[in-house]
Amino acid sequence: FDFFEIGEVSEDELDKQYQQSLSYIEELEFLNMLSKEEDRLNAIININSGAGGTESQDWAEMLLRMYMRWAERNNFKTKIIDRQEGDVAGIKSCSIEFEGNFAFGYFIQPPETRVGPQKATFNLTQSFPWFGLLNAKEDVATEMAKAKYEEFENTKSNIFFEVKTAYYNYYFIEKAIQITKENIEILEVFKRLAFVKIESGNASIVDELRVELELNDLENQLALFLDSKEVLQVKFNNLLNRAIISEISVPEILWQDEIPLDQLNMLSEIYSSNHQLKSIEHKLNAFVNQEIVAKKEGLPKFMIGLNYTVVGENPMSTAIDNGKDAFMFPSVGISIPLYRKKYKALIKEARYLQEAEISRKEDKTNTLGTIYKNTYKDFSDGHRRIFLNEKQSEIAKKVLDVLITSYSTNSKDFEEVLRIERQLLKYELEHQKALTDKNAAVAFMNYLIGQ
């Protein structure tokens, strides 16, 4: 019984060792594929989605992320050479370059040494870039992050402007509805007055028909205002991300915003605070540092590491260190890039990008100057129209009162009564529109300075 149990244990151990040997052989076969001189070079992988449509493009992007994560875990540098986005999701194609050296070598023909044949070698190396390269890369990343942040701030400022503009438009429609209803009530009074005059034989039926014409026009205009109110209500509530039927309260009379600075100082403030200009400046700084990175990438790199060589036993040797593995630390080296075209191209690319951003900055500066002048013109025009239409409304009301009194006594000038009533409606609407135009101009000015 004891011998049988020992036999079972031995058989299990042999099977375990056999499986380990198979795994070792498979590993060596795999490593044999990476034993050529070309395997030390960089690799490029192309991923194509083919004709599978959106699902295939989505899977291609998942495969890309898998490769990128694998490279990150294994300390390989990666660079996207070309990428084509999918129609709906995923990618159509992508080319990735992997940069790095493998860390294990297996000798197909083991070289003989005094202490035995070399079976395999392990090499662990840490490279150190040229002085200042890491700081320059950090500056590039920092400036690009700042540029993205300015783009975010610009989007936020634009949302504030859209909310204010939507509110001012809603206010105008609300007041337009109120003013139109009041004028319809006035025309109803005119209609009854004309009817009384007709019954007494002191006016023509034409007067009543003229009032009917005016009423029809105003009722149609009122219907348009009511439809517009619903649209603007939905737009404003959507901007605030709330229920589209939420009520919007408006003041009896809209406040008047003012530009905080004079023209010259305001323009200077725009040039120094505009988020789009600041984003361009950060990108320009990033590309300046990118040129520094490209120059330093072409300089030598220093390496320090350790080397471990597995040595087999030499049956013909009787040396004490026969079969002793070799360990070397530290191993110091220097890597000198011999092919300069890549780095020269990167330097040129960085300079071209700088020139492009400089041109963009000049164009954006000129555009902002023109936009500012137009906005200031709209602000001044709105300011003038506020006082003009307020004054005109007061005069029109006085004229209308005189004409109504005159019509009540002698039945004349009814057509003039209707004409002045139309003018009064126009002045009242224009007064409210001027208020919203002025405030909208101030809101856009605040957007230009990044508020």
Which two structure tokens, joined as six digits, stand for 422? Answer: 């139309």
Classify residue 383: in a domain, yes or no: yes
Higher local confidence (pLDDT), 314 or 410: 410
pLDDT in tens, 393-410: 999 999 888 888 887 777
pLDDT in tens, 336-370: 777 778 888 889 999 999 999 999 999 999 999 99
pTM of this prediction exceeds 0.75: no
82: helix, coil or strand?
strand
Q: Does the pLDDT value for residue 81 go beyond 90?
A: no
Q: Does the pLDDT value for residue 52 go beyond 80?
A: no
What is the CATH classification number for the domain harbouring 257?
1.20.1600.10
Which two structure tokens, joined as six digits, stand for 173? Answer: 């429609």
* Cα dihedral 194/198/202/205 (nearest 10): 80
pLDDT of amino acid 4: 45
Work out the burial of residue 94: count CB atoms within 10 Å of its CB; fewer than 13 is exposed, 13-18 middle, 19 or more buried: buried
Q: Count other C-beta atoms under 10 Å from residue 27's C-beta.
A: 12
pLDDT in tens, 230-270: 999 999 999 999 998 899 999 999 999 898 777 778 888 99
Same domain, 262 and 367: yes
**Which residues constitute the domain of residue 174?**
147-280+361-448
DSSP state of 306: E
Helical axes 341-410 vs 263-273, angle rounded to 10°? 140
Same domain, 77 and 209: no
Rounded Cα–Cα distance for residues 257 and 439 (Å):
6
Indicate the range of 5-9, 81-85, 352-356 predicted with least confidence: 5-9
Q: Does the pLDDT value for residue 224 go beyond 70?
A: yes
Classify residue 250: in a domain, yes or no: yes
| CA 268 from centroid of its chain's CA atoms | 26
Count the domains in the chain.
Answer: 2
pLDDT of amino acid 34: 54
What are 36-43's contacts with CB under 8 Å, separation 24+? 39/102, 40/101, 40/102, 42/97, 42/98, 42/99, 42/100, 43/97, 43/98
Same domain, 82 and 152: no
Rounded Cα–Cα distance for residues 210 and 414 (Å):
9
pLDDT > 90 fraction of the chain, expressed in percent and rounded:
40
Rounded Cα–Cα distance for residues 118 and 116 (Å):
7
401: helix, coil or strand?
helix
Same domain, 81 and 176: no
Question: How big is the CA angle at 115 (ends 114 and 120), to the nearest 5 degrees?
Answer: 110
- End-of-domain residue from the set 61, 84, 100: 100
Which two structure tokens, joined as six digits, stand for 216? Answer: 């029809």
Higher local confidence (pLDDT), 85 or 156: 156
Report whether the peptide linkage leading into residue 337 is cis, meaning its omega lies within 30 degrees of zero.
no
Same domain, 68 and 191: no
Q: Does the pLDDT value for residue 1 go beyond 50?
A: no
What is the CATH classification number for the domain harbouring 53?
3.30.70.1660
Same domain, 152 and 84: no
Same domain, 271 and 384: yes
Work out the burial of residue 214: count CB atoms within 10 Å of its CB; fewer than 13 is exposed, 13-18 middle, 19 or more buried: buried
**Could you tell me the pLDDT band of residue 106, with boundaries at 50, 70 and 90?**
very low
The span from the first CA to the last CA of the chain, in angstroms, equals: 91
pLDDT in tens, 29-42: 555 555 555 555 56
Quickly tell me which residue has 């984003």 as its tokens: 279
Across 102-106, 281-285, 295-299, which has the greatest mean pLDDT? 281-285
Indicate the range of 23-27, 81-85, 196-200, 411-415 predicted with least confidence: 23-27
